[in-house]
Amino acid sequence: MSNFKVVDISAWQENLNWQALKRANIKGVIIKIGEYYHLDDMFITHVNNAVAYNLPYGIYYYAHAATIDEAINEANWVDMQIKTYLNGQNPPLGIWYDAEDISMLKYNINVAYMIGNFINRLNELNYNYVGLYSSYNWLINIIDLNLLADYVPIWTAQYYHENSFKLKYPNRICKIWQYTNCEQIDDIYLDCNIYYE
């Protein structure tokens, strides 16, 4: 299979037309599992719909950890939800740590330490596809990528005509590029991404 389009969704997309997604040639969805240790209000519904419409899915957790311990706690919480709602299964499109919130900068610890510990903790728990989502700006200016293992998959957000991260870091595993937040499908606008096979 070659590169394909996926959308990322959360409680903001409660009236999603799944038939329209299929018609628009969307081949997968990445679903917000939660933030602040709170399950996203639409998580279970979105997962059930993804399964019903035969769309592979991934999940993302919106991070607020400002210390390594907090990042490990976030990973443990994600593990608990996956065991509760997904029978402990690895989502086929991955588990993503959404690192973009300034709350993560509170103690002046480089965000890469929180990201690395979140990912390592889930790897220890036998989730074998765990990566980082962040903006191109954060990936270049805020997160010290030298502190992150080069096997960590990256999902970059940059609303631009090309994926600058993939060009700048050809040796990094860039799995997804979020190229717009305003792809119109049916009557709503969605974040749309290229998933690199």
* Residue 187 confidence (pLDDT): 87
Domain range enclosing 67: 4-195
Q: Which residues contact 121 (CB under 8 A, 6 or more apart)?
A: 71, 72, 75, 76, 79
Q: How far is 176 from 193, CA to CA, in rounded Å?
A: 6
pLDDT at residue 1 above 80? no
The pLDDT mean for the chain works out to: 97
- Runs of H (alpha helix) within the chain: 18-23, 43-52, 68-85, 111-124, 136-141, 164-168
- The length of the chain in residues reads 197
* Residue 2 confidence (pLDDT): 84
34 backbone φψ class: left, alpha, beta (φ>0; ψ -120 to 50)? left
Tokens of 11: 């409680």
Q: What is the pTM of this model?
A: 0.97
CATH code at position 157: 3.20.20.80
Q: Calculate what percentage of the chain has a pLDDT beyond 90.
A: 96
* Residue 50 confidence (pLDDT): 98
Q: How far is 136 from 190, CA to CA, in rounded Å?
A: 19
Look at the chain and report how many structural domains it folds into: 1
The average pLDDT across 102-119 equals: 98
Q: How far is 169 from 163, CA to CA, in rounded Å?
A: 10
Q: pLDDT for 7-21, tens place per residue?
A: 999 999 999 999 999
Q: pLDDT for 115-165, tens place per residue?
A: 999 999 999 999 999 999 999 999 999 999 999 999 999 999 999 999 999
Closest CA to 5 of 195, 161, 197: 195
Rg (CA), the chain: 16
Is the separation of the CB atoms in 130 and 122 below 8 Å?
yes
The average pLDDT across 71-93 equals: 97
Q: pLDDT for 168-196, tens place per residue?
A: 999 999 999 999 999 999 889 999 999 99
